[in-house]
Structure formats: structure tokens, C-alpha cells
């Protein structure tokens, strides 16, 4: 009994993204964690706040020709081309395993038209074991793909409304950083009924091989991710958090608990770990433990206490 009293209770890591309650704020970012089974031997999936699966389209997509990736200074470029198995095979082949993971399952959806997004939302709403949808309006890789939705506020708003109309699941809209003012996009989506925002997707970049004078990616341009983009992501999360009232999921170069905490202080309610899953498969669990350690050190009993806790001024 005496012993029990000297052990402080562990910090409360629970957060809520609107109607979506998470055991802790650490999720995996779409496209960096497959359909979770790929990491089953390396990560205790039931410890994660949530898994966001690889983006799903109505029909399977083959993806881009290689080379698809190129390493840059503290980052990487990718032009995978939205390769995925399509919604039918996702439901039949991938969902049975995902239901056993013991954490929140968020399905990232992408399409070429508003009708595509609506149809995906409708089909996935009928599937057991899905906790939320994340709408990818920002992937820059496919020429006729989502890029227009992610850069035009009225289009982003229309997609959000269409998805909300077709589903009762919580809807997260993932924003592109490749815009003049991300706050305009965030407001448009929030006013259209999104339950939460996730940001940022990759920054469009390019690599060139000087020796061969050829582009590093077959697609020529691709999305930059990894530690290199963290300051940009942090700035955008802070700006959006200051402008909208719905919860935000911070994404961009998060590889350590300290990175994650910076996003929480900037106003994010949760975070997604992306590229770090590639170079350190244990990153997510280390971040969860690290956030708890930080809260203990700071004398906080709950992670809620630090969300938006950035100190400004003297």
C-alpha cells in the first residue's frame, strides 16, 4: 500500500479529435506504414494512438515507374504515384488484419473527382472496424489527381461536404503545404464540416543528377518528407491552430518525442509519424514513451495540458 502511494500515476495521454477518441496522440502517417501488417513484427500496434493506412482509391493504381524515391539532406523525395490495391481488395484483403491491431484505424482516401471521394466514403462507411476517414486532397504526384482539390479552397470545401454527406465516420482532411496561404484552405475545409485537419503533406521538390543531367525521379518531381520539412510543418500547424477551432493533427519530420511535443505546443492535438517509420521502425513507440516522460518531468498529469501551450512574448 505504501509502495503504491509513492508511484505517481502515469500521465493521461488520451486525446480527442472531435468525435474520434485516441488512447494517445501518436498515429502513423498514410503511405509510411503500409496496411500495418508490414510492421507487426517490429511495433506493438495496440500501443499506437492510431494507424492511417496507405491511401485508397476506387480502382487499383499501379503507381509510377522507378526510380520512385531519392534521398536528400535529412529528407527524401518520393513519387510513388498513389500505388494501392483499390477499395475492394482493401476491404477484403487488408481490413481483416487491421481489425485485429487493437488501435484506431483511419482510412486515407483519394480520388480524381468529387464523385470518387463520395463513393469511397459511402463504401467504407459500411465496413466494420474503420474509425475515421482521412481525405487526401493534397497528394502532388498524379497529374490528373487530387492536386486541384488541395490548392483551390472552393474545391477542397466541396470534397469535404461530399464526404461528410456520405458518412457518419469522423472526417479528417489532410492539407497540402503547396499553397500560398494554408490558413485559407484550413478555414474552407473547417467551415465545410471537417471534424479535424491533418497537416502537412509533402512539399513538392525535385532532384537532379548532375553527372547524367537527368532527374532523380522518373516522375521528375516528387514530395519531400523527413526532418528537413519540420520547421515548415511546425509553422503551418501553428498558423492553422491560431485560425480554426477544430482539432489538428501535426505531420512533418516527426522522429522523436521532442519533435512531437513541439507540434503539440504549436497547437496540434495529435501527431502522425511518417518517414521516421522507414529509418526507425520503433519510432512511434519511442515517441509515446518519450511524451509520457516529458509530462512527468514537467509535472503535468495530462497531455491535454500542453496542447497549444506555446509561450509567446517576454
Partner 1 sequence: MPEHQEKSIVQSIERMSPSVYRLTLHAPLIAGEARPGQFAMVACGSTLDPLLRRPVSIHQCSADGRLQLVFKVVGRGTQLLSEIRAGQTLDLLGPLGRGFRLSPGPVALIGGGIGIAPLLFLAQSLMQTGQADGSCRVLLGAQSGEDLAPLAAGFETLGCDVELATDDGSLGRHGLITDLLPAHLPNLGKVYACGPHPMMAAVAALCASAQVDCEVSLEAHMACGLGACLGCAAPGADGRYKHVCKHGPVFKAAEVAWTTR
Positions annotated as catalytic residues are 139
**Lookup: cell for 73:** 539532406
Q: Which of 1, 62, 128, 314 binds partner 1 (CB under 8 A)?
A: 62
| Binding of partner 1 by 140 (CB under 8 A) | no
| Binding of partner 1 by 78 (CB under 8 A) | yes
Give the separation between CA 78 and CA 225, rounded to whole angstroms: 8
| Binding of partner 1 by 32 (CB under 8 A) | yes
Residues 250-269 that bind partner 1 (CB under 8 A): 255
Give the separation between CA 76 and CA 259, rounded to whole angstroms: 18
**Shorter beta-carbon distance to partner 1: residue 148 or 220:** 220
Site string for partner 1, 182-221 (x = CB under 8 A): ----------------------------------------
Q: Which of 31, 111, 146, 290 binds partner 1 (CB under 8 A)?
A: 31
| Radius of gyration of the chain from its Cα atoms, rounded to whole angstroms | 19
- Which residue from 215, 227, 304, 211 is spatially nearest to 264, judged by alpha carbons? 304
Q: Which of 10, 19, 66, 96 binds partner 1 (CB under 8 A)?
A: 66
Q: Binders of partner 1: how many residues, by CB under 8 A?
A: 36
Q: 214 vs 80, 210, 217, 222, 225, CA distance in Å?
A: 18, 7, 9, 14, 21
Q: Which of 277, 287, 291, 307 binds partner 1 (CB under 8 A)?
A: 277
Q: What would the 3-class secondary structure string for 15-74 be?
A: EEECCEEECCCEEECCCCCCCCHHHCCCCCHHHCCEEEEEEECCCCECCCCCCCEEEECC
**Shorter beta-carbon distance to partner 1: residue 228 or 244:** 228
Nearest distance from residue 94's CB to partner 1, in Å? Answer: 12
Rounded to the nearest 10°, the torsion over CA 63, 270, 90, 170 is -120
Nearest distance from residue 126's CB to partner 1, in Å? Answer: 27
Contact (Cβ atoms closer than 8 angstroms) between residue 75 and residue 224: yes
Task: Please provide residue 167's backbone torsions phi and psi, each rounded to the nearest 5 degrees.
Answer: -145, 150
* Interface ranges with partner 1 (CB under 8 A): 31-34, 38-39, 41-42, 54, 62-71, 73-76, 78, 80, 83, 226-227, 255, 275, 277-282
Amino acid at each position: 500500500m505504501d509502495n503504491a502511494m509513492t508511484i505517481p500515476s502515469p500521465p493521461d495521454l488520451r486525446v480527442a479529435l472531435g468525435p474520434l477518441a485516441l488512447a494517445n496522440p501518436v498515429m502513423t502517417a498514410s503511405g509510411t506504414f503500409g496496411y500495418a501488417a508490414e510492421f507487426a513484427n517490429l511495433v506493438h500496434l495496440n500501443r499506437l494512438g492510431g494507424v492511417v493506412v496507405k491511401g485508397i482509391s476506387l480502382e487499383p493504381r499501379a503507381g509510377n515507374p522507378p526510380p520512385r524515391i531519392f534521398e536528400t539532406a535529412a529528407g527524401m523525395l518520393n513519387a510513388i504515384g498513389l500505388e494501392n490495391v483499390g477499395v475492394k481488395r482493401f476491404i477484403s484483403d487488408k481490413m481483416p488484419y487491421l481489425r485485429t491491431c487493437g488501435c484506431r484505424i483511419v482510412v486515407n482516401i483519394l480520388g480524381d473527382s468529387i464523385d470518387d471521394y463520395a463513393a469511397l466514403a459511402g463504401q467504407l462507411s459500411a465496413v466494420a472496424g474503420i474509425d475515421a476517414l482521412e481525405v487526401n486532397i493534397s497528394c502532388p504526384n498524379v497529374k490528373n489527381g487530387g492536386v486541384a482539390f488541395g490548392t483551390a479552397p472552393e474545391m477542397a470545401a466541396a470534397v469535404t461536404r461530399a464526404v461528410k454527406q456520405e458518412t457518419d465516420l469522423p472526417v479528417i482532411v489532410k492539407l497540402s503545404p503547396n499553397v500560398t496561404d494554408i490558413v485559407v484552405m484550413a478555414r474552407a475545409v473547417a467551415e465545410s464540416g471537417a471534424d479535424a485537419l491533418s497537416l502537412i503533406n509533402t512539399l513538392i521538390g525535385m532532384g537532379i543528377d548532375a553527372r547524367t543531367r537527368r532527374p532523380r525521379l522518373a516522375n521528375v518531381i516528387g514530395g519531400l518528407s523527413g526532418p528537413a520539412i519540420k520547421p515548415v510543418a511546425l509553422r503551418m500547424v501553428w498558423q492553422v491552430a491560431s485560425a480554426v477551432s477544430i482539432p489538428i493533427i501535426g505531420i512533418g519530420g516527426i522522429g522523436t518525442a521532442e519533435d512531437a511535443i513541439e507540434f503539440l505546443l504549436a497547437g496540434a492535438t495529435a501527431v502522425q509519424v511518417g518517414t521516421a517509420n522507414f529509418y526507425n521502425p520503433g519510432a512511434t513507440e519511442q515517441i509515446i514513451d518519450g511524451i509520457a516522460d516529458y509530462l512527468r518531468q514537467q509535472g503535468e498529469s495530462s497531455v491535454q495540458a500542453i496542447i497549444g501551450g506555446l509561450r509567446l512574448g517576454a
